Chains A and B, each alone.
Chain A
């Protein structure tokens, strides 16, 4: 799919597409369901969760993605504080999960918008993730203010596992899209650990930014992935590489099978987030692009070569999250200015005053139609 990258290169704000504004406070998290890629969830700092339909069946060019339903402030089971992460159930849209600063993780039934189950924790929940490829387990990994990663089982309704190893709060968790038992966790203690949850004895690998060369930095920085809090994690779509971002203003690309730092240099990736940063990778393009919230803009880099392609400007305040819609190569981003913006590939507009530039055949005068040349150019 070589041409898809050209669509990603032309992402821009389009006056004909926007998303209905529901949140009264910043939008912290967005997720698009993996089955049809049609419905999007958003969670905000006001505790509200909204569900949007992204498909345009209205036959108009101008389309606002409406919120079909939402868990608003007057819902009896709404989260008390800010919602940090929402995720659709990976196998269908009947269920979604949300975790919040009110120390709970709630499992919602989409059709009735009632919570089917609630998990309580001792500390605020920064992030949770459910494996997109898991068939043998239904575990949700939860990162909280405590240093232990909790794995909650949907089938039994209780926390089945605890992963010990980090020393400070867990800011991001992510399952590998390749192996259903591999989990990556990022913590404020500057470390990123890869776990195999079937192993009882501890983590598989702790990522080391210097790849074992102890001479590169001061000795306290041994075995750290970043020189600051690590607050963002994203696997590439094939699961072979992992991207991490940290408050040392760096983004690093790691080989997820042996934990080696590939030393791709993206330059300074400004990161002042005190909680998790949710960034995303494109899907299906070659080369792949990563979209990282950078202040009030979104920076677009090529994943494997580290080149900065562009900065998408449009938000008025810090951008907190972004998601990529792979079917149409669109990017949706949520920010503290309460808006969700849709970045759509710019189309080549047919010019109305030049007859030979009009693309569609039906509008062409048959007298201008080319009926005799060998037809290797499009008409």
Chain B
């Protein structure tokens, strides 16, 4: 064949995708079933347990899953299956309607029970975890659902809110929540802004991935740089540009 081979048809219909590959050594798992589960376990490793004195279950964000599993439709489908099987719960984190946190049900249950040990509302929380969680896989609960179907009284619902297991959403409906999630959300929002600021302040508003991870994180980044970078990439707040010297992170133009 000639050395000046004309440009071949791009192999987009194979395994190679034009969108950036997973970064820094974590090869994107092909979209077999179980790739989202593996991604969730990897993200659980990244979560800083010590920061919260081990009171929080490892929370992964949906955008982080998209960063590790580039095919979003398949990732959504697997997350739905895991939710239907009861292995994970999705938590609405509140600061962004898109940002949803994912926790393993087992971790959630153990940490919630630990956090309410010795408190007066322990019994209510135990009943909630035993009765409501397996029955209803939704993100939120309505008042009539709680009172009629599950038999909770108003004062018990207030106890659940005080315990941190429920958060107010509207008059008469509540989001499922993790006890102690407030601190997590505070650190998360500050850290996200700080990492974005690092890219924004750099020349040409772009940074290579290795450079970003190698830098010392500013004090407001408590959850760790890799944790935030996964979220920013998956949430499309940063564009990935594959270059010959590694992946480049760039702020989108718009």
Contact = CB atoms under 8 A, between A and B. Distances in A.
B7 A348 contact: yes
B25 interface: no
B73 A265 contact: yes
A245 B140 CA distance: 27
Interface in A329-349: 346, 348-349
Interface string A205-227: 00000000111111100000001
Contact of B10 (A9, A213, A264, A354): A9
B85 interface: no
Interface residues of A, number: 34
Nearest to A356: B2
Interface string A5-30: 11001100000000000000000000
A263 interface: yes
Interface stretch (B11-19, B35-43, B117-125, B216-224): B11-19
Contact of A219 (B4, B71, B141, B173): B173
A214 B17 CA distance: 35
Given A272-B254, A309-B12, A219 B236 contact: no
Given A265-B72, A265-B73, A308 B170 contact: no
Interface string B42-78: 0000000000000000000000001000011101110
A295 B9 contact: no
Nearest to A265: B72
Interface in B69-99: 71-73, 75-77, 80, 97
A217 B142 CA distance: 12
B139 interface: yes
A215 B138 contact: yes
The 7 closest A-B pairs by CB, nearest first: A215-B138, A265-B72, A268-B236, A215-B140, A306-B73, A348-B6, A265-B73
7 contacts: A9-B12, A215-B138, A215-B139, A219-B169, A263-B73, A270-B252, A308-B19
Interface of A: 5-6, 9-10, 213-219, 227, 263-268, 270, 272, 295, 305-310, 346, 348-349, 351, 354, 356-357
Interface of B: 2, 4, 6-7, 9-10, 12-13, 17-19, 66, 71-73, 75-77, 80, 97, 138-142, 169-170, 173, 236, 252-254
